Structure 1
Amino acid sequence: MNIVETALPGVLIIEPKVFGDARGFFLESWNKATFAQAGLTMDFVQDNHSRSTRGVLRGLHYQLENPQGKLVRVTQGAVFDVAVDIRRSSPHFGQWVGVELSAENHRMLWIPPGFAHGFLVISETADFLYKCTSLYHSPSDRGIRWDDPQIGIAWPDAGMAPQLSGKDAAAPHLAHAEVFA
């Protein structure tokens, strides 16, 4: 696999080796030993799968207690995936990185604990899969506004109003959010 560093230290684009022929393709999306050889020694305890339609925006989500590292990928369709550093002690606090993940490019994104995460579906539908290093813990679930001007995420289709959950629409701006020290 190929690991590409992003502008935010710790957030990594992972490009697996894809073996394809006329019948289709094969790729290994997770192998503990292979990832450990690359210096990525995370353990996963939960897998999630969501399907969404074009224009659905999920995020920006994180957990204060039991923070989750996430290895995310798309198996059908395409999304614009975003990580935001929300560690006040970080020199990158409030900065974001975004990458297109699709069934065609097979890219994955590693988002370590301490980052908020969200994605916008840019295809007709998208199946989004993610492995988590901690179990979901509802009492520590938090969010930040997707359109916070302090963060300034350049979402694709900027003129289109995204479809949001009620929770995401009511999320606070970064300045008023509970974040990591």
Structure 2
Amino acid sequence: MNVIDTDIPDVKIIEPAVFGDERGFFMETWNQQKFEELVTGKPTPFVQDNHSKSKKGILRGLHYQTENTQGKLVRVVSGEVFDVAVDIRKDSPTFGKWVGVYLSAENKRQLWVPEGFAHGFYVTSDEAEFVYKCTDFYNNLAEVSIIWNDEDISVLWPINDEPMLSDKDRLGINLSEAPRL
């Protein structure tokens, strides 16, 4: 695997080795030992896998949990999304900064979003299937949704029209109001 640094040192883009020929391809999507050695540098157990399917124009996020904080290893198995991680660690020199990357079935990239980051994505293809591993269990009582267009964060989403949002995301709060980790 190839690990690419981003503007926020703890957020990493992972490009798996892909072996392909006229029959198709093979790639290793997860290897605990390589992940800990090349990405986190520490034990990083995953406890939950999630899979979502969304249509073009759907924006999910920016989500995080104040308890049961989750690191997420995310990838797209069908379609394409613009994936975003926002640093919400209160003592971080990159607090409020964001990283955005296109993840697709075609480029097979993964993004490591560590604990202490809000996460969201926007579907750019007709539909997308998004899968991710989590380091802790989902806790709906501790979930926070930061509004996708918070001016203090200023994510440059690849959006022409208003995105389709859940009620939770439509009612998201600003980073300045959000509990910090």
Shorter-chain-normalised TM-score: which range? over 0.9
Residue in structure 2 matching 1:79, options 67, 78, 81: 81
1:112–1:3 distance in 2 versus 1, CA, 3 Å: same
Bigger mean CA offset, 12-21 vs 29-38:
29-38
Determine if contact 2:48/2:133 at 8 Å carries over to the other structure. Answer: yes
Cα deviation, 1:150-179, whole Å, max 9, x if unaligned, reads 10000002x310000000000101111112
Question: SS where residue 38 of structure 1 aligns?
Answer: helix
Runs of 4 or more consecutive aligned structure 1 residues displaced over 2 Å after TM superposition? none
Overall identity of the aligned pairs, in %: 56
Distance in 2 (CA, whole Å) between partners of 1:37 and 1:9 is: 15
Residue in structure 1 matching 2:147, options 138, 145, 148: 145
Task: Tell me what 1:156 maps to.
Answer: 158
For structure 1, the residue ranges without an aligned partner over 5 or more in a row are none
Q: CA deviation at 1:87?
A: 1.1
- Residue 173 of structure 1 pairs with residue 170 of structure 2: no
Task: Tell me what 1:5 maps to.
Answer: 5
Determine if contact 2:3/2:39 at 8 Å carries over to the other structure. Answer: no
Q: CA deviation at 1:39?
A: 4.8
Q: CA deviation at 1:37?
A: 3.0
Distance in 2 (CA, whole Å) between partners of 1:87 and 1:35 is: 22
For structure 2, the residue ranges without an aligned partner over 5 or more in a row are none
Task: Tell me what 1:109 maps to.
Answer: 111
Question: SS where residue 36 of structure 2 aligns?
Answer: helix
Distance in 1 (CA, whole Å) between partners of 2:90 and 2:34 is: 32
- Residue 35 of structure 1 pairs with residue 35 of structure 2: yes
Cα deviation, 1:52-86, whole Å, max 9, x if unaligned, reads 00000000000111100000000000000000000
Distance in 1 (CA, whole Å) between partners of 2:71 and 2:142 is: 14
The RMSD of aligned alpha carbons is 0.8
Alignment-mate amino acid for residue 148 of structure 1: D
Alignment-mate amino acid for residue 23 of structure 2: R
Distance in 2 (CA, whole Å) between partners of 1:43 and 1:119 is: 23
Bigger mean CA offset, 125-134 vs 137-146:
137-146
Q: What number of residue pairs does the alignment pair up?
A: 179
